[in-house]
Amino acid sequence: PKEKMCPGYGWQETIDQMSPEEMREFLTELVGKNKDLQEKLVLRYREQDADMLVGSWEDRIAAIIRRYASHSGYIYYTHAADFHLALMEFLNDRLPALLKAERTMDAFRLVSLVYSTAMEQGAEDTDDLLSELTDECEAAWSDILEQATQAQEEEIYKWFADHSEISWWSYGTDQVRGFLFFYEWSQQLLENNLRLLDKRIEKYQDQEYQLEGLLKCRETTMHKLGYPEEEIEAFWDAYCDREFVRDRKLEQFMAACDYDRAIAMLLEGKRLDREKVWRIKRHSEKLIELYRITGREEDYREELQYQVFSCLQNDLRYIRELRSVTSDEEWPKYLEELLKKYTRSAL
C-alpha cells in the first residue's frame, strides 16, 4: 500500500509550490554533493561532445575494473559476479536518461562500451550474471534501434559488422553475430548482410561448423528479403556435397513423406560418404526403415544383409531382423558368416 504522508509534508505538493528560484537553489545544493546526480542531470538535459562523454565513461569503467581485478589485471571467478553486477548498474544508471532524451548514438556508445568491456575482460559467468548483462545489452540494442534514424541505423550496423569477428574477445562474438544476422534491419542493410555472408561463406569453406551457421543465416536473410522458395532451395542445392546440407534435405523429404526422394538421397549418401563408416551405417539404417515403410520387401532384405555384414553391429537388432526374413534353410549359411565376422563377445 502507498505510504500516507502527513498533511502539509507531501514532497510532490511541496515541489508544485516551489518557485523557479527556490527549485534552482535546492537542486544546486542537492546535486552539488552527488556526482551520480550530476551525471544524470547532464545526460538528460545537456548535449555533450561524444568523445568527452565516452572518455568519462571509460574512466569510470576503468575504476570498476581496478576495484575487482587482481594486480595482473585478471578478474578471478570470486569477483566475477560483483564485477558484472557493477557493469549492469553502470549501464542502468545511465541508459534510461539517454533514451528518454533521444540521444540515440550516445545510448549505443554506452551499451557497446559496457558489452565490449565485459567481453575483453573475459571473467567467468558466475551466477549467470554475465549472461544477464549481455541479454540486457541485446535488449538495449533493440530499444536504441527503434528510435534510430536511417543514418544512425547504418552507423550501428557497421559496428556489428566490424565486431562480429573480433579475435581478441574471450567470447561474445556469437551474440553480436546473431544480432547482426537476425535483427530486422532495413532492406538495404539486409542486402548488405547477403554480401557480407557470401564473403564469409567463401572464407570458411574448410570449416564445416562455421559454414553451416553462415548458410543458415543466409537462408534467414533471403526469407526476410522475400526471395521465392525455389531460389532459396537452389541456394542450398549448390552445397549438396556437404553432409549437413544433405541431412537437411533428407529431413525435409521425411517430413513431407516423400519417401522415393529420401531413398534416392540416402543411396547417393552411401556413395558420397563411402569413406565414413558411421555415416554409411546411419544411411543404411534409414534405408531399412524406409524400405519397411514402403513395402519394398526385396530391397528391405538386401539392405538388412548389407547392414549386418558390411557395418559394425553394437547389438543384435538388425541380426534379429535379418533372421526374421530369412528361411530356415538359408540361415545356417548367414550364421556361419556372422560367426566368422564377430567374436562371441561382440555378439
Give the per-residue pLDDT at 44. 61
Helix, strand, coil percentages in the chain from 3-state DSSP, rounded to 5: 75, 0, 25
Where does residue 103 rank: exposed (0-12), middle (13-18), buried (19+ CB within 10 A)?
Answer: buried
What tens digit of pLDDT does each residue of 84-125 get?
Answer: 999 999 999 999 989 998 999 999 999 999 999 999 888 888
pLDDT tens-digit map of 201-226: 999 999 998 999 999 999 999 999 99
**In this predicted model, what pLDDT tens digit does every residue of 142-194 receive, in sequence order?**
999 999 999 999 999 999 999 998 766 767 888 999 999 999 999 999 999 99
Q: Give the pLDDT band (50/70/90) at residue 6.
A: low
Is 143 in contact with 128 (CB distance < 8 Å)? no
**DSSP character for 6?**
P
Q: What is the pLDDT of residue 84?
A: 95
Q: Identify the CA nearest to 146 among candidates 97, 184, 94.
A: 184
Question: Cβ distance 105 to 50 under 8 Å?
Answer: yes
pLDDT 10s digits, 250-305: 999 999 999 999 999 999 999 999 889 999 999 999 999 999 999 999 999 999 99
Query: What is the predicted pLDDT for the residue at 76?
Result: 87
In the prediction, which pLDDT does 111 show?
97
